[in-house]
């Protein structure tokens, strides 16, 4: 390896990013969701976004076989939701704060924004799969978004 993994992740911690919770529902009606900050826009025409998901995650099979998924862009006071949807071995939906939103997918009414997608493709990204979503519906709220930077949650800084 050219760079020690710890050095790579420390360097990447200097890249501030959004905090999202991606959700989907499988054929049996079971809800799935994970916290992801590897979210970005990809294309304007067609309108595409992407988020990367660890191939070893418990949610991987559900998301890579889903026809649709929803990206909840968390508000700055929703760090607790981010931690819950990153925690293993719990029912992440038990808190009951997710309600049917765009495309009927589980969403947070108080999210800063939401983007509902149909699955455009699944790309190979090393130990992650890159979920590419075609934008179907969007919601833009008024809440200030949550950001993750230097391994801490915060809110966007002051513009220079």
Ligand X SMILES: Cc1cc2nc3c(=O)[nH]c(=O)nc-3n(C[C@H](O)[C@H](O)[C@H](O)COP(=O)(O)O)c2cc1C
> Which residues of this chain interact with ligand X, rule CB under 6 A?
19, 34-38, 52-54, 57-59, 82, 86, 88, 148
Q: Distance between CA 34 and CA 53 in Å, rounded?
A: 9
Smallest gap from residue 56 Cβ to ligand X (A): 7
Nearer to ligand X, 148 or 159 (CB): 148
DSSP strand E in the chain: where? 17-18, 20-25, 31-36, 40-43, 48-54, 68-73, 99-100, 106-107, 113-125, 128-140, 147-149, 152-154
Nearer to ligand X, 53 or 108 (CB): 53
Smallest gap from residue 143 Cβ to ligand X (A): 18
Nearer to ligand X, 62 or 113 (CB): 62
**Sole residue written with tokens 């809110």:** 155
**Integer Rg of the chain from CA:** 15
Smallest gap from residue 153 Cβ to ligand X (A): 7
Q: How far is CA 56 from CA 14, 83, 128, 141, in A?
A: 25, 18, 8, 33
Nearer to ligand X, 60 or 134 (CB): 60
Smallest gap from residue 94 Cβ to ligand X (A): 15
């Amino acid at each position: 390896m050219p760079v020690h993994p710890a050095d790579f992740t420390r360097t990447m911690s200097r890249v501030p990013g959004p905090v999202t919770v991606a959700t989907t529902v499988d054929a049996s009606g079971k809800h799935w969701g994970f916290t992801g900050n590897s979210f970005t826009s990809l294309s304007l025409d067609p309108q595409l976004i992407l988020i990367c998901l660890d191939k070893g995650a418990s949610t991987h099979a559900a998301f890579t076989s889903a026809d649709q998924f929803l990206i909840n862009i968390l508000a700055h006071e929703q760090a607790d939701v981010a931690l819950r949807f990153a925690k293993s071995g719990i029912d992440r939906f038990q808190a009951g704060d997710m309600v049917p939103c765009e495309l009927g997918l589980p969403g947070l009414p108080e999210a800063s924004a939401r983007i509902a997608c149909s699955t455009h493709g699944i790309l190979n990204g090393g130990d992650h799969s890159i979920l590419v979503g075609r934008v179907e519906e969007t919601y833009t709220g008024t809440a200030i978004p949550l950001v993750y930077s230097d391994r801490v949650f915060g809110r966007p800084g002051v513009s220079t």
